[in-house]
């Protein structure tokens, strides 16, 4: 959906920024390195090992599910972009998305979850988590995404997805005292560099599109002069 001309500088920055951002995200996941202590985690002992206790033999299925999730998530943004062209109503579209998502999730939960206790609602953290996820992560997030997609396109929205990894790492370290390794810090820095290159190229595209639109509007203002007959007809209609 993006306009790419390999000879243009902004297109080169767009491709390079995307590759750098993905590389930084992979670096945060795959490379560990030594533990980095911050002032708020200096006096906390971390039981950190490289053995990987999560190695349960489901790596192949997990990798397939992650790839499928990324594909579906990308397809969702593309579909939302095409839908907003013919139906430019972000709020009602968000309502439809949330309603269909709740219906499909409920159907899957009814099939997969057989314990009645799982459906009990109490005034605890589980209720707060569900309400916050529904309002913020689904309702408001989809609405803002729709506005930005209509103005700047789906690539501009998805470019900020790797930034979530940085936010989660930072908040996890501050709130939950999670381990932050050198690999995560280097990957976060790489993500910021790639994100800046991609946003710079998208801004250049936006400025170029505005200049083209302004030039087109200026050309439309130049009209042919009225003839003497048209002026007389206009005057006669005005007198009547």
Q: Is residue 171 part of a domain?
A: yes
Q: Which structural domain, as residue segments, surrounds residue 29?
A: 9-41+59-199
pLDDT tens profile 45-65: 555 544 444 555 677 888 788
**What pLDDT is recorded for position 154?**
87
Tell me: pLDDT of 41 over 80.
no
pLDDT tens profile 169-190: 888 888 887 888 888 889 889 9
Give the pLDDT mean for 208-231: 62
Q: Is residue 221 part of a domain?
A: no
pLDDT tens profile 106-119: 899 888 888 888 77
**What pLDDT is recorded for position 53?**
47
* Residues 215, 235: Cα–Cα separation, whole Å: 33
Tell me: pLDDT of 79 over 80.
yes
Lowest mean pLDDT among 19-23, 162-166, 200-204, 209-213: 209-213
Q: Is residue 30 part of a domain?
A: yes
* Residues 54, 52: Cα–Cα separation, whole Å: 5
Q: Is residue 132 part of a domain?
A: yes
Locus of tokens 């033999």: 57
Say whether 113 sits in a helix, a strand or coil.
coil
Bridge partners, 35 (sequence order)? 181
Q: Is the separation of the CB atoms in 143 and 176 below 8 Å?
A: no
Q: Is residue 233 part of a domain?
A: no
Tell me: pLDDT of 199 over 50.
yes
Q: Is residue 120 part of a domain?
A: yes
* Residues 188, 181: Cα–Cα separation, whole Å: 11
**What pLDDT is recorded for position 51?**
47
Domain count, the chain: 1
Q: Is residue 209 part of a domain?
A: no
**What pLDDT is recorded for position 237?**
46
Percent of the chain with pLDDT over 70: 82
* Residues 159, 226: Cα–Cα separation, whole Å: 52
**What pLDDT is recorded for position 229?**
53
Q: Is residue 47 part of a domain?
A: no
* Residues 37, 27: Cα–Cα separation, whole Å: 19
């Amino acid at each position: 959906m993006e306009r790419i001309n390999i000879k243009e500088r902004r297109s080169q920055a767009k491709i390079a920024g995307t590759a750098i951002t993905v590389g930084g995200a992979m670096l945060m996941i795959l490379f560990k390195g030594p533990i980095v202590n911050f002032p708020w985690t200096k006096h906390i002992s971390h039981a950190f090992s490289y053995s990987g206790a999560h190695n349960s033999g489901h790596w192949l299925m997990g990798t397939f599910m992650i790839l499928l999730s990324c594909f579906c998530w990308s397809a969702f943004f593309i579909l939302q972009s095409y839908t907003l062209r013919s139906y430019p109503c972000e709020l009602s579209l968000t309502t439809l998305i949330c309603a269909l998502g709740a219906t499909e999730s409920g159907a899957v939960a009814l099939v997969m979850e057989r314990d009645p206790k799982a459906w009990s609602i109490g005034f605890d953290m589980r209720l707060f988590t569900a309400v916050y996820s529904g309002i913020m992560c689904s309702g408001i997030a989809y609405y803002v995404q729709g506005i930005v997609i209509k103005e700047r396109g789906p690539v501009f929205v998805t470019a900020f997805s790797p930034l979530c990894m940085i936010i989660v790492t930072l908040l996890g370290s501050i709130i939950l005292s999670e381990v932050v390794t050198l690999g995560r810090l280097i990957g976060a820095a790489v993500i910021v560099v790639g994100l800046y290159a991609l946003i710079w190229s998208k801004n250049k595209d936006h400025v170029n599109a505005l200049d083209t639109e302004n030039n087109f509007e200026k050309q439309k203002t130049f009209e042919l002069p009225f003839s003497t007959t048209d002026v007389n007809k206009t005057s006669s209609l005005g007198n009547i």
